[in-house]
């Protein structure tokens, strides 16, 4: 088969199921079993027909259990397809906390020089109204747009801001000093997620309640601005040092991965990165999402938890009977 190397029957069930679903959705007239074996990555025309039939029946059952009914016509040979109208398309509803979290995740990804899907991420963010670019702040034409412009400028330059803030339900304002992390909208109002530098905690502020905004006023503003929080695991209350080994192909991207944060000790096979962290769960998630090539060494309890999670994933993949 000319595409035998491409259609590897052992690439993994999740990838194969995804490829099958996409192929059946895109096919207007449906695909025969032979066409599926030839065109869909994860199947192969080199395997015996009964092996293909068994694999396809199992995959068809899994897709239908996931809400993707596979339709077979009465032709000979049968042709299979998935009707796009049968695919549930529910409107995405994000809570206030969802938008806070996604806004910070978008900002972190866009700050990574090695992240190659920035334009796609921006398009997705625009659809959700999350962390909009400055030109869209201007186009929003709201009372808060001027404030959003000013904050976006400070955020882009890594500068802290000082402002008067009047909380809801309270009389009088209070002077606040913060490092902007992300801007987002919720029900038509603009909000800012920022690190409150007076209490060293993450806070969310409604722009309509912010007044007298100034950029980098306090004497320690420059020192704080030189080291803004960028990683999700640096937002929290725990406070500990993490030691992470970065090797393999990722060794060539260490500057982009670390963003110049923490201490990097170069070694023959990679580098040992020491960085302050504040959220153990977020740290474990970051290591798992950015590997392989990234290994958490300390703190040892978190490293052991990550290793156990990886072992469980490998074990579940190894248990697959196809």
Q: Give residue 320's pLDDT.
A: 46
In CATH, 232-318 is 3.30.70: yes
Q: What is the pLDDT of residues 82-112, one digit of tens each?
A: 887 656 555 556 676 676 677 767 766 766 6
End-to-end CA distance of the chain: 21
Report strand pairing: 294-298 vs 174-186: unpaired
CA–CA separation, 100 and 130 (whole Å): 9
Output the pLDDT for position 79: 92
CB atoms inside a 10 Å sphere around CB 6: 11
Tokens 């109204």 belong to which residue? 129
CATH number corresponding to 13-86: 1.10.10
Q: What is the pTM of this model?
A: 0.36
How many CA within 13 A on the CB side of residue 184? 27
Best-predicted range by mean pLDDT among 11-20, 33-42, 232-241?
33-42
How much is the mean pLDDT over the chain? 75
- The position carrying tokens 């993707």 is 68
DSSP string covering 146-161: HHHHHHHHHHHTT--E
Token pair of 111 as six digits? 């700050």
Q: Where in the chain is the domain with CATH 3.30.70?
A: 232-318
Residues 179/171, Cβ–Cβ less than 8 Å: no
What's the pLDDT score for residue 284? Answer: 87
Strand intervals (E) in the chain: 71-72, 80-81, 161-165, 174-186, 189-196, 201-206, 210-215, 240-247, 263-267, 270-277, 294-298
Rounded to an integer, what distance in angstroms lies between the CA atom of residue 57 and that of residue 50? Answer: 11
CB 22 within 8 A of CB 14: no
Mean pLDDT of the 240-268 span: 81
pLDDT grade for 160, boundaries at 50, 70 and 90:
confident
Identify which of 57, 192, 169, 183 has the alpha carbon closest to the alpha carbon of residue 132: 183
User: Is the pLDDT at 122 greater than 50, yes or no?
Assistant: yes
Residues of the chain with CATH 1.10.10: 13-86
pLDDT in tens, 68-84: 888 888 888 889 988 87
For 188-246, what is each residue's pLDDT tens digit? 778 888 888 888 788 888 888 888 888 765 544 333 444 454 677 887 788 899 999 98
Q: Chain-centre distance of CA 133, in angstroms?
A: 18
């Amino acid at each position: 088969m000319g595409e035998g190397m491409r259609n590897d029957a052992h690439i993994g069930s999740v990838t194969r199921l995804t490829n099958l679903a996409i192929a059946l959705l895109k096919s207007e007239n449906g695909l025969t079993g032979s066409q599926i074996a030839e065109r869909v990555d994860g199947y192969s025309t080199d395997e015996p027909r009964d092996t293909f039939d068994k694999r396809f029946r199992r995959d068809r059952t899994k897709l239908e259990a996931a809400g993707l009914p596979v339709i077979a016509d009465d032709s000979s040979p049968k042709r299979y397809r998935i009707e796009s109208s049968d695919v549930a398309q529910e409107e995405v509803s994000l809570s206030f906390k969802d938008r806070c979290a996604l806004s910070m995740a978008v900002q972190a990804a866009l700050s990574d020089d090695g992240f190659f899907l920035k334009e796609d991420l921006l398009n997705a963010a625009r659809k959700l109204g999350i962390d909009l670019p400055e030109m869209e702040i201007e186009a929003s034409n709201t009372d808060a747009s001027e404030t959003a412009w000013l904050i976006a400028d400070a955020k882009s330059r890594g500068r802290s801001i000082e402002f008067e803030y009047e909380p809801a339900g309270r009389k009088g304002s209070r002077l606040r000093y913060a490092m902007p992390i992300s801007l987002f909208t919720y029900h038509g109002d603009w909000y800012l997620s920022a690190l409150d530098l007076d209490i060293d905690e993450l806070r969310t502020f409604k722009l309509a309640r912010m007044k007298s905004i100034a950029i980098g006023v306090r004497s320690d503003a420059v020192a704080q601005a030189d080291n803004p929080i960028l990683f999700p695991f640096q937002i929290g209350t725990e406070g500990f040092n993490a030691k992470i080994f970065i090797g393999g192909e990722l060794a060539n991207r260490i500057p982009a991965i670390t963003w110049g944060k923490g201490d990097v000790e170069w070694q023959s096979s990679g580098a040992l990165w020491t960085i302050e962290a504040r959220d153990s769960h977020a740290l474990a998630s970051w290591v798992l999402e950015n590997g392989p090539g990234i290994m958490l060494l300390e703190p040892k309890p978190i490293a052991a938890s990550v290793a156990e999670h990886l072992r469980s994933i490998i074990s579940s993949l190894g248990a697959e009977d196809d």
